[in-house]
């Protein structure tokens, strides 16, 4: 026959089981309520740069380079060259004239050079490369910075131009189809002997 002692032990055991079940239930409900929503990782949004294509390469416009020198004959100015008996003539200009053919409908290219620097150096950049043919192009004297050295000397006739040769030793800039120069320097001379520019 079960005693109170046994009954008390059963009650105590039931109470322990009940409390344990309640504690588990409480923990489960707390977990269910307090557990944060599960994080679903997503891929980061791609940066706009990853979809943009690289910039197109810079187009280099083809060009023909024509260069040369303009001197003042028989004047001992700064940079005087005794072998040529001439001095560089700063701020003078030349003209490059190219005569087209039937394919170009006989167009004429006429370009003025840069003004010469202190060494008498000038430059012409020809962008209409289809019009350039060294056999049909000529360099002419165009202007002198002073009337004291303005008489055409090379060539002596202002209507005559100098032919061009290709400079194969010069380093051509990017895009250049070639560098050309006349066989000799262009020259002016004093109109009156002995009257040279003061510089």
Percent of the chain surpassing pLDDT 70: 70
Domain of 148: which CATH number?
2.60.40
In a domain, 10, yes or no: no
The total number of structural domains that make up the chain: 1
Is 134 exposed, middle or buried, given 0-12, 13-18 or 19+ CB atoms closer than 10 A?
Answer: middle
Copy the structure tokens of residue 161: 């131009």
Say whether pLDDT at 63 is over 60: yes
Q: What is the mean pLDDT of residues 118-123?
A: 97
In a domain, 69, yes or no: yes
CA 114, chain centre distance (Å)? 21
pLDDT confidence of residue 48:
58
**CA atoms lying within 13 Å on the CB side of residue 121:** 6
In a domain, 197, yes or no: no
C-alpha angle with apex 177: 172 to 180, nearest 5 degrees? 70
> Which tops the pLDDT comparison, 151 or 28?
151
pLDDT tens digits, residue range 66-76? 999 999 999 99
Say whether pLDDT at 182 is over 70: yes
In a domain, 80, yes or no: yes
- Report which listed range, 3-17, 31-45, 164-178, is most confident: 164-178
Lowest-confidence segment of 2-16, 87-101, 116-130 by average pLDDT: 2-16
* Segments forming the whole domain that contains residue 185: 63-189
Q: How many CB atoms lie within 10 A of CB 11?
A: 11
C-alpha angle with apex 193: 118 to 81, nearest 5 degrees? 35
Copy the structure tokens of residue 68: 């040369």
> Which tops the pLDDT comparison, 188 or 2?
188
In a domain, 181, yes or no: yes
In a domain, 2, yes or no: no
């Amino acid at each position: 026959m079960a005693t109170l002692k046994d009954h008390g032990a059963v009650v105590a055991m039931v109470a322990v089981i009940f409390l344990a079940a309640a504690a588990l239930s409480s923990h489960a409900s707390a977990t269910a309520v307090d557990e944060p929503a599960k994080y679903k990782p997503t891929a980061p949004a791609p940066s706009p740069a990853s979809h943009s294509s690289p910039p197109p390469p810079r187009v280099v416009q083809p060009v023909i380079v024509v260069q040369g020198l303009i001197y003042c004959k028989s004047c001992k100015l700064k940079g005087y060259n005794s072998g040529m008996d001439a001095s560089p003539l700063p701020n003078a200009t030349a003209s490059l004239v190219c005569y087209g053919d039937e394919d170009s409908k006989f167009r004429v290219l006429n370009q003025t050079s840069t003004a010469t620097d202190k060494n008498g150096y000038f430059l012409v950049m020809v962008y209409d490369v289809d019009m350039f043919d060294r056999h049909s192009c000529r360099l002419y004297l165009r202007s002198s910075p002073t009337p004291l050295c303005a008489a055409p000397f090379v060539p002596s006739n202002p209507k005559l131009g100098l032919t061009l040769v290709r400079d194969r030793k010069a380093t051509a800039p990017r895009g250049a189809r070639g560098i050309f120069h006349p066989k000799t320097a262009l020259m002016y001379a004093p109109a009156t002997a002995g009257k040279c520019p003061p510089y």
